[in-house]
């Protein structure tokens, strides 16, 4: 965990409301796919809290980019920072995707078997946390299929469609309005894929809106496919002390302590089956 001030290389609008922020650091920042950073414009007093943004891509050991949607006061403030501006950053944070799939696997052989096939499901700006993952999976010769859903073709472009296409991996696209790919939600083609046996020996990696991840978790459970989900929650600190970003989890033992886990330090990637999706729906 490094606390530092980074220099803004660029902060470019991709389509209205979606931007790519590229930061340069004075030291190497070792990152894993699926990790995030807490960011805020340097010397910005309002809003107060830093914002959690997924690390989109490592452009180099000292340069990282962040794909984000301008949604509220925090991201609005970030969108105003110009090149050469400075950003306070705390990173890298969270467990990341592959840390979890490796850490929980049995011996190395099991682990290799497990990673043979990957299904990556991204919804909207959830794509920001999967680009590095897809890249790593394809480099490790894992058979990877991407399912990417967005509201419209424009949003899909804002959420990094071109970068996903550049990976040259099998890519199934959906848009809510049918302006690109299949009309409807991304969970429909995912379910077909699993029904046809596409989930055998695979791990599903999901990141997107809560309702999407909840449905992906249900489908994965139905077809007995292992599923990891990267969650998002409003965060006070990003490093485990405020305990504000919790999600309700299923847990053994007496009711009470252990009912909640922190998205920032216990996640942000969790096995989908431990999340109590119905409880947390209120928060999303």
Partner 1 sequence: MNNHDPALSVEIAGVSLKNPVIGASGTFGYGLEFAELVDLNRLGGFSTKGLSAKPLPGNPPPRIVETHGGMLNAIGLQNIGARAFVEEKLPLLRRYDTRVIANVFGYSDEDYIEAITILNDGPGIDAYELNISCPNVKEGGIVIGSSPSAAARLTEKAKRASSRPLIVKLSPNVTDVSELALAIVGAGADCLSLINTLVGMSIDVNTRRPRLSYGTGGLSGPAIRPIAVRMVHEVARTVKVPIIGVGGIASAMDALEFMIAGATAVQIGTANYYDPKVTMKVIDGLSDYCRQEKVPHISSLVGSLITS
Binding-site member from 8, 202, 237, 275 for partner 1 (CB under 8 A): 237
Stretch 46-75 residues interacting with partner 1 (CB under 8 A): 46-50, 73-74
Asked if residue 122 lies in contact with residue 207, where contact means CB atoms within 8 angstroms, the answer is yes
Closer to partner 1 by CB, 90 or 125: give it.
90
Q: Does the footprint of partner 1 cover residue 40 (CB under 8 A)?
A: yes
Q: Does the footprint of partner 1 cover residue 90 (CB under 8 A)?
A: yes
Q: What is the 3-state secondary structure (H, E, C) of 112-146?
A: HHHCCEEEEEEEHHHHHHCHHHHHHHHHCCCEEEE
Closer to partner 1 by CB, 171 or 239: give it.
239
Asked if residue 94 lies in contact with residue 34, where contact means CB atoms within 8 angstroms, the answer is yes
The count of chain residues that interact with partner 1, using the rule CB under 8 A, is 38
Q: How far is the CB of 242 from partner 1 (least distance, A)?
A: 6
What is the DSSP-derived secondary structure letter of residue 249? B
Which among 138, 133, 38 has a CA at the least distance from the CA of 91? 38
Closer to partner 1 by CB, 186 or 263: give it.
263
Closer to partner 1 by CB, 242 or 274: give it.
242
Binding mask 240-259 for partner 1 (x = CB under 8 A): xxxxxxxxx------xxxxx
DSSP-based three-state secondary structure for 59: strand
Burial class of residue 7, CB neighbours in 10 A (0-12, 13-18, 19+)? middle
The 10 Å CB-count burial string (b at 16+, else e) for 50-76 is bbbbbbbbbeeeebbbbbbbbeeebbe
- Rounded Cα distance between 246 and 146, Å, is 28
Q: Does the footprint of partner 1 cover residue 103 (CB under 8 A)?
A: no
Q: How far is the CB of 6 from partner 1 (least distance, A)?
A: 15
Q: Does the footprint of partner 1 cover residue 196 (CB under 8 A)?
A: no
Q: Which residues pair with 81 in a beta bridge?
A: none
Q: Does the footprint of partner 1 cover residue 88 (CB under 8 A)?
A: yes
Asked if residue 248 lies in contact with residue 259, where contact means CB atoms within 8 angstroms, the answer is yes
Binding-site member from 1, 10, 16, 59 for partner 1 (CB under 8 A): 1
Q: How far is the CB of 32 from partner 1 (least distance, A)?
A: 17
Binding site for partner 1 (CB under 8 A): 1, 3, 40, 45-50, 73-74, 88, 90, 233-237, 239-248, 255-260, 279-280, 282-283
């Amino acid at each position: 965990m490094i606390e530092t001030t980074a220099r803004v290389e660029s902060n470019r609008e991709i389509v209205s409301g979606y931007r790519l922020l590229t930061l340069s650091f004075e030291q190497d920042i070792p990152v894993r796919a699926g990790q995030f950073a807490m960011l805020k414009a340097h010397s910005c007093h309002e809003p107060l809290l830093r914002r959690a943004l997924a690390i989109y891509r490592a452009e180099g050991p000292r340069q990282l980019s962040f794909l984000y949607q301008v949604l509220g006061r925090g991201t609005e403030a970030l969108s105003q920072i110009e090149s050469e501006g400075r950003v306070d950053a705390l990173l890298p944070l969270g467990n990341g995707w592959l840390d979890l799939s490796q850490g929980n696997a049995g011996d190395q052989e099991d682990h290799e078997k497990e990673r043979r096939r990957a299904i990556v499901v991204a919804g909207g700006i959830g794509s920001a946390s999967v680009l590095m993952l897809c890249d790593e999976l394809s480099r490790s010769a894992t058979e990877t299929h991407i399912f990417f859903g967005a509201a419209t073709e424009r949003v899909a472009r804002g959420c990094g469609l071109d970068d996903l296409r550049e990976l040259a991996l099998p890519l199934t696209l959906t848009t809510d309005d049918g302006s690109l790919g299949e009309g409807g939600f991304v969970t429909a083609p995912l379910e077909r894929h699993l029904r046809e046996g596409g989930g055998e020996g695979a791990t599903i990696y999901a990141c997107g809106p809560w309702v999407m991840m909840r449905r992906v978790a249900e489908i994965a459970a139905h077809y007995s496919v292992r599923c990891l989900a990267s969650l998002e929650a409003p965060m006070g600190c990003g490093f485990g002390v405020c305990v504000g970003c919790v999600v309700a989890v299923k847990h053994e033992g007496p009711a009470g302590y252990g009912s909640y886990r922190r998205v920032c330090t216990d996640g942000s990637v969790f096995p989908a089956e431990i999340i109590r999706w119905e409880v947390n729906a209120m928060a999303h």
